[in-house]
Amino acid sequence: MTTAARENRTAAASTSSALGPLLFLAAVGGLCWAVTVARMHGMDMGPGTDLGALGWFAVVWVTMMAAMMLPSLSPMAIAYSRSGGGRQARSVVGTGVFAAGYLLPWAAFGVLAWALIEGVRSLDLGVLAWGRAGQYAVAVVILGAALYELSAAKGRCLTHCRDARLLRRRPGAGGALLMGIEQGGFCVGCSGALMAALFALGVMGVAWMLLIAALVAIEKLLPWTAITIGVTAAVLALIGVAIAVAPDHVPWLTTPMSM
């Protein structure tokens, strides 16, 4: 076999190994978007949205994270599938295990957020009503998320989310699960502040979900890291200031007074 033939065969095998994980993540992400949109219909109550019981919320949250985050996981999933070699079917199964591990840190994030929000709600603090300090509390959370975008911790975690060479290979299904958990942890460190902003805006709002998912994707998939971080920080800062100054003019924001 000539060198050119070997190179062509290697390239074809590389393309084949990437196709299965990409199609798998696209199918799962698309299905989760369809389920999420159907479940969220009429549920957007804006800031202070009732999260429901923990079990119900956990299922909804994981479905949301699969819809929002799995597309941006594609480069890492491809890197994982190529590191394992083997057949296409085995690669897709391994990618599923990898993705399941990736969602576990996000599930933990959602449970902690639920506990924090419900804990504050149980205190029945009238000062946090929207007509008093509520809108400013929401603005502070979003502006805090904008500042976090510019932090060193964000930069380090984003590097791990973008650079497949930093993915630590481990063999077998257990290794795939651990690799996914580790990658999910870096992703929480990278995008957790964006999800905090989503909770502040109204976690059941599909429009806000689409915006946050788009910001996550451009940060992880586009090549201009500094520019994409700057864009995300600017968008969050603009939303935060607008909510503090003129919340009734913020598109897609369902204010509690307008219900």
Question: Residue 252, SS3?
Answer: coil
**Per-residue b/e over 127-139, b at no fewer than 16 CB within 10 Å?**
ebebeeebbebbb
- Read off the pTM: 0.88
The range of the structural domain enclosing residue 226 comes to 3-258
Residues 175/179/181/185 CA torsion (nearest 10 deg): 160
Give me the number of domains the chain comprises. Answer: 1
Q: Are 201 and 138 spatial neighbours (Cβ–Cβ below 8 Å)?
A: yes
**158: how many CB neighbours lie within 10 A of its CB?**
21
Q: pLDDT 10s digit of each residue in the chain, 259 long?
A: 554 444 444 444 444 556 778 888 899 999 999 999 998 887 777 888 889 999 999 999 999 999 999 989 988 888 887 765 445 445 788 889 999 999 999 999 999 999 999 999 888 888 888 888 989 999 999 999 999 999 999 999 999 999 888 888 888 888 899 999 999 999 999 999 999 999 999 999 999 999 999 999 999 999 899 999 999 999 999 999 999 999 989 999 988 754 4
Cα 171 from Cα 10, distance rounded (Å): 22
